[in-house]
Structure 1
Amino acid sequence: MKFPAFCLFLFVCMLLLPTYALGAESPAAIKLFMNEKRLTSTEVEPRIVSGNTIVPVRIIVQEIGAKVTWDPAARKVTIVKDDVNIQLVIDNKTAVINGKKETMEVAPIIENGNTMLPLSFIGSRMGIEFKWDALTSSVHMFKKDDTDSKPVTAPVDKGDGNQPGTSKPTAPPTVAPTKPTSPPTVPTTSPPTAPPTGDENGIKPPDPNVHLLNLIQLTEKDLIVNAKDGALTPTVLKLSNPNRIVFDFPNTKLDESLQKLLVNNSGELPSKHPLVQKVRFSNFADNPATVRIILDLKAPADYKSQTSKLPNQWTATIAEHQLTVVIDAGHGDQDPGALSITGKHEKEFTLATAKKVEKLLAQDKRVVVMMTRSDDTFIPLDNRVSFANDNMVDLFLSIHGNSAKSTVTGTETYYNRPESIDFANVVHEKVVAATGFPDRKVRQADFRVITKTTMPAVLVEVGYLSNKSDESAMYKEAFQDKVAASLVAAIKEYLNLK
C-alpha cells in the first residue's frame, strides 16, 4: 500500500516550526503559511509534544515536490528530495539521513490515521526558510534554493578555538529566526470581569496605540508608507528564491481605503520600480496589530531608510543589491586574545591582517567592505553579530590566531551552519596554500560570531601563536600580505567575482 500523498506535504512544513522548550502541548492552534499563502488541514492539527512541534505530512509535501513511500510492514516512511533521503520509523526516535543515523527528540506517530512528524528536525534538511510569530502561533514558510537543503558533508570536529557560544545545535537551522523559549501560555484562572467598553451600541473605540496606514506607494525609486498618526518603524526580513523584502509595521492596521483592496486578506499594488515586480500587503497579525508589506523582486535588491520630514511617514530607497562583506578582526583592547610564544598578543595579528584584507578588497568597487573594528577597540561578540545582521551583509569573515601546546601547528577554518560550509571550504583551501602550515581541516564549532550571524560566516585560525615556527611567520608583514591576498581571493571566488 502506498503512503498517502497527502501526508508528505505537511511533513516538511512542520519541520520548519521552532521547537518549544516545554513538555506540555500548546493551547494555541498553530497556523501554517507557505510564501504567505495560508495552508489548511482537515486532519489532525499541528501540536506540541515533549517540547517539539509535530504536524501531519500532507500540506508541505505537495509544496516542495518531495516523494514519499510507505512500508507498512516496517512502519517506515521514506522521503526523497533531490539527493536528500530521510527514513523514519513510527514510534522510533532514530532517523536515517543519507545512510547516517541521527536521533530525534520525539518520534513520529500515527494519530487518527495521520502520520505526525517533528517539524524542526526535518525542516532544517528540506530547504525551507521560516519565521515563527509567537503571538499569533503562526509559522511563515518560504521556499529556498534546493542547494540549501543538502546535508553538511564537511568534517565535524569542535577542535580548539576562541570564545565558543553557549550551546551547539543538534541540527543546524536553515535560518536564524527568533525562537521562543516556550509556547504561548493561557491564564490558569478566569480573567476578572469588567463592564463592557464602547458606546451604547457596543461598538469598541479605536485603540489609540494602533496607527492606521492610509498610503502604501512604490515610486520608481522609493517605497513610501504613511500613517494617519504616529511614527512608523518596521522590522525587515530579506528572503531569496524568490527574492523578496518583507516589511512588518507593528501597532498598525490598514485604513478603510486600503482594506477595500484586500481579497482573502491580501492586497496587491502595481510597481513602477525597475527592480520590483509587485507590492503585496495585508493585516498580518492581530496581537500586536501588524501590517506586512512584501516587495516581490525581479532581482536582488537592498533598501535604505530615508529621513522623512513627516513624523507619520516612513520612506526607503530600493536600489540594486551591492555585495557587502564584514571583516572581523578578533579580540581587541582589554580582550587581547592568545599570548604568543614571544609575548605578542593575538589582537595585534588579527587587526593587522584584517586591515590588509580591507585595503585589498576595497579596490574592487563591486564590493562594500565593513570592519567590526579598525583600531584597538573592544567590540562584544553580540555587537559584532548584530553589526553584520543589521546591515544584512553577504559574507562574514572572522580572523584569529590559535593557541595550544607548543608542538601543535597548522591552519583551521570553522563554520557552524550548513549555508556557511561552501565559503569555509574556499577560505580554507586558499589560506592553507598561502601559509604553508599543516592542514588542520575545516571544522564545525559553535563560536558565537559564526553561529548567530544570518549570512554565510567563517572563522579562520591562521596559525598557532603558541608554536615557534607559526608565530615567527605570523607577525611578519610579508606573511600577513600573503594571507590577506588569499582571503580576498577566497571572498571573490565565493561571490563569483571574476
Structure 2
Amino acid sequence: MMMLILPAYAFGAEASSGVIKLYMNEKQLRAVEVPPRIVNGNTIVPVRIIAEEIGAKVSWDEAARKVTITKDDMNIQLTIDSKNATIKGKKQTMEVAPVIVDGSTMLPLRFVGEQLGVEFNWDAITYSVHMFKKDDSSSLPVTAPSVVVGEKDGTDQGEVASGKPTTPPTGTKPPTKGTTPPAGTGSGTGDKTPDPTVHLITSIELSEKEFVVKAKDGTLAPTMMKLANPNRIVFDFPNTTLDDSLRKLLVNNTGELPSKHPLVQKIRFSNFSDNPSTVRVIMDLKSTADYRIQPAKQPNQWTATIEEHRLTVVIDAGHGDNDPGALSITGKYEKDFTLVTSKKVQKLLSQDKRVTVLMTRSDDTFVELDGRVAFANDNQVDLFLSIHGNSAKASVSGTETYYNKPESLTLANIVHKHVVAATGFPDRKVREADFRVIKKTTMPAVLVEVGYLSNKNDEAAMYKEAFQDQVAAALVTAIKEYLNLK
C-alpha cells in the first residue's frame, strides 16, 4: 500500500482553532458528541467514526482497556494511553496513543485509516480532512495520488433491512446548495446575507423547573441523546446558529452557563456543525437524569423538564403478525415463541418496583424495525433486549447472543451466560452482527437467539411452558445483574 504523507500542518498544532470537519467520499460526516481534536500533531476521532464510516468492526476489552479493530483480513489492536499497536500480530509504534475523552474512546485517525485502506487529503483553508475509499473512487480529486485501498464490507446480517423509510423530522432539511452560510456557522462569512432557512437561537435557559431554548423565528426540533461516564444529555438543534449575544460567550467555540438545577452541573453550547448548521447544547449531569419534552408556552420556543432517572428496560418480542419469523420443524411460528417468552420476562421483571418494563409489542402485531428502535431511543431506556428463535439446517443446535456496539458487549456476555445455563443447549457464543435493532438503538442492546426451531430437540423444548419460564427467569436474572440490582 502506498502511504499518503500529509503536510505537517494538516494534523499539527498550526491549525489550533475551530472544529475539524471530516468528509468521507466528499460527504460530510454527521456530528459526534466529542469532536475530532489534535494531539501531538495527530487528529484523533471517536471510535464511532472508525466503526460506522470506515466500515470496520470494533470491540472493547474493559479489563485490558484494549480496542480491537477488524475489517476483512486486517486486525488492529490498540491499548488506551499506549503508543504500542499490534497490526496482524506485528508490533508497531504510533505517534499518539488512543485516549478516552468525556467518555468517548478516541483513536488516531490517520494511523488506523491507512491500515484499513483509506486515503487522506487535508484542506487547510476549510480546516477539514477528506477521506476516500475505493468503493467510490469516482469521487477522488484529480490531484490525489493513486493508492490501493480496501473495499468496505457492506454486507449486513439478519434483521438489517429497514422497514418503511421514516420521514425526516421537520426542520432537518439541509440548506439549499449555493446559499450563503449565516453568521456564526464557522465559515468566516459573517458579513454576508444570512441564510433564511437557518434560525437564530437567542437564549438558552435552565431554571430549577424548566429547560428553555428560544429562537428569533422558526420551529425548534432537536435530536437528543444520553451518554454516560460522565453522565450528560446532548441536544442538537438543526438549521440553527447562535445569535450575537450567545456567540460572544464562546471560547474556542464553546460557551458555558451555570446551573441552579439540582441534577445539572452546568450547560455547554456551541455552533457545532455547518452542514446542516447546528447548535449543540450539552447538559453535564450530577447523576443520571431524564428529559421530558413539554408543550412550548410561546412560538419559536422549545421546552423540556429534567427529572430523576428511573431504570427502564425494553423487551422486544421478535417479528409479529404478517412477519411470522422462522417456521419451526413442526410448523410453529417464531413470533409465537418470542411473544410468550417476552411476556413472561415482563411479568417477572415488573415485580421489581425499581424497574419500568416496556414492550415493543404485547400481542400479535407487527412493528417496523425502525419503530422498535425509535420506541427505545425516545423512552431513554437503560437497555434493549430482543428475543428470537433461529433457523438453519436440521443438525444445528444451540444458543447465540448478538451485540453490535462495544458498549453492548458486557450486557451480551451476562445475558449469554445465564441463557446458555437455562437452555442446556450447545453454547454458540456471543457474536457481533448488524441487526438493526441492536445497531441503531442508542443504549446497550443485545439480541438473543434462544435456540434453533429447525432442530427437533431445540424446538421440542422451546414450545414447552416450563422451558419458557426457565429462559424468562434467566433473562430477568441477567438484566438485574447488568443493572446491579441486588
Which bin holds the TM-score, normalised by the shorter protein? 0.5 to 0.7
- Tell me, in whole angstroms, the C-alpha distance in 2 between the residues paired with 1:224 and 1:320: 18
Query: Alpha-carbon deviation of 1:223?
Result: 0.9
| Bigger radius of gyration among the two | 1
Tell me which residue corresponds to 1:459. 447
Counting only pairs closer than 5 Å after superposition, residues 136-155 of structure 1 correspond to structure 2 as none
Q: Call closer, same or farther: CA 1:19–1:465 in 2, change over 3 Å.
A: farther
Asked if 1:490 corresponds to 2:485, the answer is no
Q: Which amino acid aligns with 1:343?
A: G
Asked if 1:364 corresponds to 2:352, the answer is yes
- Tell me, in whole angstroms, the C-alpha distance in 1 between the residues paired with 2:276 and 2:157: 40
Match of 1:245 among 233, 252, 256: 233
Tell me which residue corresponds to 1:308. 296
Q: Which amino acid aligns with 1:253?
A: T
Asked if 1:118 corresponds to 2:112, the answer is yes
- Tell me, in whole angstroms, the C-alpha distance in 1 between the residues paired with 2:432 and 2:304: 38
Asked if 1:165 corresponds to 2:160, the answer is yes
Tell me which residue corresponds to 2:167. none
- Tell me, in whole angstroms, the C-alpha distance in 2 between the residues paired with 1:360 and 1:299: 28
Query: Alpha-carbon deviation of 1:248?
Result: 1.8
Name the SS for the 1:441 alignment partner.
strand
Tell me which residue corresponds to 2:417. 429
Offset from partner CA, 1:309-341 (integer Å, 9 cap, x none): 312111111122222221111111111112222
Counting only pairs closer than 5 Å after superposition, residues 20-31 of structure 1 correspond to structure 2 as 20=24, 22=25
- Number of aligned pairs? 375
Tell me which residue corresponds to 1:111. none
Q: Call closer, same or farther: CA 1:203–1:19 in 2, change over 3 Å.
A: closer
Q: Which amino acid aligns with 1:117?
A: F
Asked if 1:267 corresponds to 2:262, the answer is no
Q: Call closer, same or farther: CA 1:359–1:292 in 2, change over 3 Å.
A: same
- Tell me, in whole angstroms, the C-alpha distance in 2 between the residues paired with 1:34 and 1:27: 19
Tell me which residue corresponds to 2:394. 406
Asked if 1:474 corresponds to 2:462, the answer is yes
Counting only pairs closer than 5 Å after superposition, residues 44-193 of structure 1 correspond to structure 2 as 80-81=79-80, 85-87=84-86, 96=90, 116-119=110-113, 163-165=158-160
Q: Which amino acid aligns with 1:430?
A: H
Q: Call closer, same or farther: CA 1:42–1:485 in 2, change over 3 Å.
A: closer
Name the SS for the 2:111 alignment partner.
strand
Query: Alpha-carbon deviation of 1:96?
Result: 4.4
Query: Alpha-carbon deviation of 1:230?
Result: 1.9
- Tell me, in whole angstroms, the C-alpha distance in 2 between the residues paired with 1:489 and 1:211: 49
Tell me which residue corresponds to 1:222. 210
- Tell me, in whole angstroms, the C-alpha distance in 1 between the residues paired with 2:365 and 2:33: 44
Offset from partner CA, 1:450-491 (integer Å, 9 cap, x none): 233332222112122223332222222222111111101101
Offset from partner CA, 1:274-295 (integer Å, 9 cap, x none): 1111112223334433222221
User: What is the RMSD computed on CA atoms of the aligned residues?
Assistant: 4.4
Q: Call closer, same or farther: CA 1:86–1:359 in 2, change over 3 Å.
A: same
Tell me which residue corresponds to 1:379. 367
Name the SS for the 1:117 alignment partner.
helix
Asked if 1:444 corresponds to 2:432, the answer is yes
- Tell me, in whole angstroms, the C-alpha distance in 2 between the residues paired with 1:27 and 1:372: 34
- Tell me, in whole angstroms, the C-alpha distance in 1 between the residues paired with 2:109 and 2:383: 39
Asked if 1:324 corresponds to 2:323, the answer is no
Counting only pairs closer than 5 Å after superposition, residues 5-24 of structure 1 correspond to structure 2 as 20=24, 22=25
> Percentage identity across aligned positions?
64
- Tell me, in whole angstroms, the C-alpha distance in 1 between the residues paired with 2:482 and 2:44: 42
Tell me which residue corresponds to 2:223. 235
**Farther off after superposition, 32-41 or 308-317:** 32-41
TM superposition score normalised by structure 1 = 0.64
Offset from partner CA, 1:68-125 (integer Å, 9 cap, x none): xxxxxxxxx996536895135xxxxx57489xxxxxxxxxxxxxxx995235979xxx
- Do the aligned residues in 1 keep the contact of 2:38 with 2:44 (CA within 8 Å)? no
Tell me which residue corresponds to 1:344. 332
Q: Call closer, same or farther: CA 1:310–1:462 in 2, change over 3 Å.
A: same
Name the SS for the 1:355 alignment partner.
helix
Query: Alpha-carbon deviation of 1:430?
Result: 1.1
- Tell me, in whole angstroms, the C-alpha distance in 2 between the residues paired with 1:253 and 1:238: 22
- Do the aligned residues in 1 keep the contact of 2:326 with 2:390 (CA within 8 Å)? yes
Query: Alpha-carbon deviation of 1:300?
Result: 2.0
Offset from partner CA, 1:227-268 (integer Å, 9 cap, x none): 222221112232322222221222223333333333343322
Q: Which amino acid aligns with 1:403?
A: S
Q: Call closer, same or farther: CA 1:27–1:460 in 2, change over 3 Å.
A: closer
Q: Call closer, same or farther: CA 1:396–1:137 in 2, change over 3 Å.
A: farther
Q: Call closer, same or farther: CA 1:45–1:454 in 2, change over 3 Å.
A: closer
Query: Alpha-carbon deviation of 1:19?
Result: 7.7
